[in-house]
Amino acid sequence: MPTTAVEAELLVEQEGAVVTVTLNRPKVLNALTHGMMEGVTAALKKAERDATVRAVVLTGSGRAFCAGADLDHLKEAYKAGVAPKLGGELRRRFNPMVSQIRRMEKPVVAMVNGLAAGAGASLALACDVKFAAPTAKLIAAFGQVGLVPDSGFSRGSGPRSGPSSTRC
């Protein structure tokens, strides 16, 4: 039973040699909070150190893989007249998560069950292997919220994301 908000938003389960990390905010399409990003990074590091783990699966609950970063805190900052430091947020929270995926010796598998938008698409593309449901959609939604493609999207959307690593 989850004991903290982050534990409720992020489910980590091990079955045999596979750890499954489930983004669990289906009402907001699994938009990533700061705590979730830090929790995914911690779960990946723990799986990397555990000799019984052979692979990690990353997925989302409900109808989405991940709608990207939860931007509600940005709205509040702008209303208060404060411009958030987006670059710093990426470096502190999102980049360590993607970097951990890329440096892991164990495979990280994205099970894209629905929408993967913006940073959510970047997260899926960072994984070693991607499986996508027939209804899955990867969307670079950065421009729709006034951002440039970042969070690893440009790097992850190249040849590494082609048919050799993505299956429907």
Domain assignments of the chain as residue spans, ordered by start: 5-167
Give the pLDDT of residue 127. Answer: 94
DSSP, res 152: T
How many degrees, rounded to 5, is the angle at CA 30 between CA 42 and CA 163? 85
Q: Say if residues 84 and 77 touch (Cβ distance below 8 Å).
A: yes
Give the pLDDT of residue 120. Answer: 93
Percent of the chain with pLDDT over 90: 56
pLDDT band of residue 70 (cuts 50, 70, 90) is confident
Neighbours of 70 (CB within 10 A): 20
Quick check: 65 pLDDT over 50?
A: yes
Give the pLDDT of residue 74. Answer: 72
Higher-pLDDT residue of 142, 91: 91
- pTM for this prediction: 0.81
Which of 18-22, 88-92, 96-100, 109-113 is predicted least confidently? 88-92
Quick check: 125 pLDDT over 60?
A: yes
Give the closest residue to 28 by CA, choosing from 65, 82, 53. Answer: 65
When pLDDT is averaged across residues 105-125 and rounded to a whole number, the result is 94
Give the pLDDT of residue 4. Answer: 57
Domain 5-167 falls in which CATH fold? 2-enoyl-CoA Hydratase; Chain A, domain 1 (3.90.226)
* pLDDT tens for each residue of 128-166: 999 999 999 988 765 454 545 554 544 544 445 444 444
Give the pLDDT of residue 88. Answer: 65
Higher-pLDDT residue of 106, 68: 106
* pLDDT tens for each residue of 43-55: 999 999 999 999 9
Give the pairing of strands 18-23 and 10-15: antiparallel
